[in-house]
Amino acid sequence: MSVMVEKVLIICLLWACVVVCECEPAMFGEVSSPQYPQPYPADILEQWDLEVPQGYQIQLTFNHLDIEPSPNCCHDSLKIVSDKKVLWKFCGQNSTDRFHPGNKPIVVSANRLQLFFLTDDSNPKSHMGFNASYQAVGDAVDCGNPELPELVELSEKDPPTTYLKQISFKCKSQYYQLDNTGNFTCNADGNWVSDSGQKLTEDLPKCVPVCGMNSEVYFGGRVFGGKPASLGQIPWQILHRLNPRGGASLISDYWALTAAHVVDGYEENTMNWLGGLIDSQDKNPVIMETEKIIIHPNYQKVGKNEQPNKFDNDIALIKMSARVTLGPNIRPVCLPNKTDELVAEGTISGFGRKEEKRISRYLLHGLVEIYSLDECDPGDLPVTNNMFCAGGDHIDSCQGDDGGPLFSPVLGYGSPDKPYRLAGIVSWGPAGCGNKSFKGYYTKVQNYLDWIKETMEKN
């Protein structure tokens, strides 16, 4: 038979003579060549799709094999295919191939395989074909209990972990939320996978702090000459009580943001910041010890107790030496979004000077309006687009408030759908607080989101 005729014959067989057996997954079964145990016919191509339940491997055992022998099985043959790859090709009755049927059962790592039985008209004598049995082997896949990240727990205690079973995660504390999907399914490979197909080891859920929420939402008060805040009302406000006196805003359970000039010269010092308080003389505050103080690289440092003559890039990150235990009175504020428009008004807070030269013992807060830079008088100090100004008639931040927050929406109007976000950091202003003509200047946090993210990730 010529090569061309053989190709035409094979194409004809593929189109006209294919018989497909579609079977539901079963734990075992049997398959035979056509007419077995009688001789098989010539010129056929038959296919079997064998499948056992997911989570098992499929084992194929030949009980009998009698196919016309030929070099490389170029005439009649039986192919075993898994995942579109030809694993074995058999003919004859005996073989030196150690994988030849009869030597031992064939086990495929998957739960399915295909058999292709091809014959031509060159058979010089009758052959019986083959008979084989298949079965599911191995224990059902068990993905096991996953190692849980810190702060994460299973939603169900001791859930089943075998094939197709599902588990879900949750955060141990109400002050945290999952940063990703919490639902995973055990697949046939023994891996927990998410709905998107990501392995648990590649898509490990983490608990991140819920930001921008407080325990009380009522409006009122001023910083300069204002009313005290209530406990839990501004839970992201933290205080450095000793020299230098200043504020900062908790933005995670490890990190806080403050003004660079507050911590300039103290990078190698250990500073103790206080949180969870509204009274600066509180005997039992949450004490946070610093591990790192990272000042923005473009801020012009002057060192301890020196007065800066420019405040561009007046921003610094503080990393605490231990995870801050979050609760109703201490929790982070959200960072702004890159696409947010600068707010028209916000709330400022701090333990700074409230009247004449008296430092406030209590945490004060108040509403301020945001102005364009050309509406404010900076005096002799340079102004950049990394700043904005805010204030009003006798409403201002003041000495001792430095590094503290300006956040929005206005206190009392936050919600889960509209959490409080840190718009600005108290930076600098005129000597007289609350002056109608002079407004306070704030570092625009929105301009530093990439630096904040990158710095936190690297440290």
| b/e per residue 98-121 (b: at least 16 CB within 10 A) | eebbeeeebebeebbbbbbbbbbe
CA–CA–CA angle 443, 261, 332 (5° rounding):
55
Would residue 394 count as lying in a domain? yes
What are residue 112's phi and psi, to 5 degrees?
A: -150, 155
Do residue 257 and residue 283 come from a single domain?
yes
Do residue 112 and residue 197 come from a single domain?
no
Q: Specify the pLDDT at position 103.
A: 61
Q: Specify the pLDDT at position 438.
A: 62
Residue after which a domain boundary falls, among 95, 114, 137: 137
Largest CA distance in the chain: 115
Would residue 78 count as lying in a domain? yes
Residue after which a domain boundary falls, among 94, 114, 137: 137
Do residue 114 and residue 173 come from a single domain?
no
Supply the range of the domain harboring residue 193: 152-209
Q: Whose CA is closest to 254, among 339, 164, 329, 317?
A: 317
Residue position matching structure tokens 């947010």: 340
Give average pLDDT by consecutive 10-residue segment, the chain, 459 residues: 41 38 70 92 92 84 88 89 87 58 73 91 81 83 86 91 87 92 82 87 89 68 56 96 92 98 95 95 94 97 90 98 96 95 91 66 90 87 94 57 93 92 91 62 97 97
Do residue 91 and residue 189 come from a single domain?
no
Q: Specify the pLDDT at position 73.
A: 86
Do residue 307 and residue 196 come from a single domain?
no
Asked if residue 249 lies in contact with residue 238, where contact means CB atoms within 8 angstroms, the answer is yes
Q: Specify the pLDDT at position 342.
A: 87
CATH code (residue 452):
2.40.10.10
Rounded-to-integer distance, Cα 335 and Cα 338, Å: 9
Would residue 276 count as lying in a domain? yes
CA–CA–CA angle 244, 246, 248 (5° rounding):
130
- Report the predicted TM-score, pTM, of the whole model to 2 decimal places: 0.71
Do residue 52 and residue 172 come from a single domain?
no
Q: Specify the pLDDT at position 458.
A: 96
Do residue 396 and residue 357 come from a single domain?
yes
| 220 dihedral zone (left: phi>0; alpha: psi -120 to 50; beta) | left
Q: In the chain, how many domains are there?
A: 3
Q: Specify the pLDDT at position 356.
A: 52
Do residue 334 and residue 274 come from a single domain?
yes
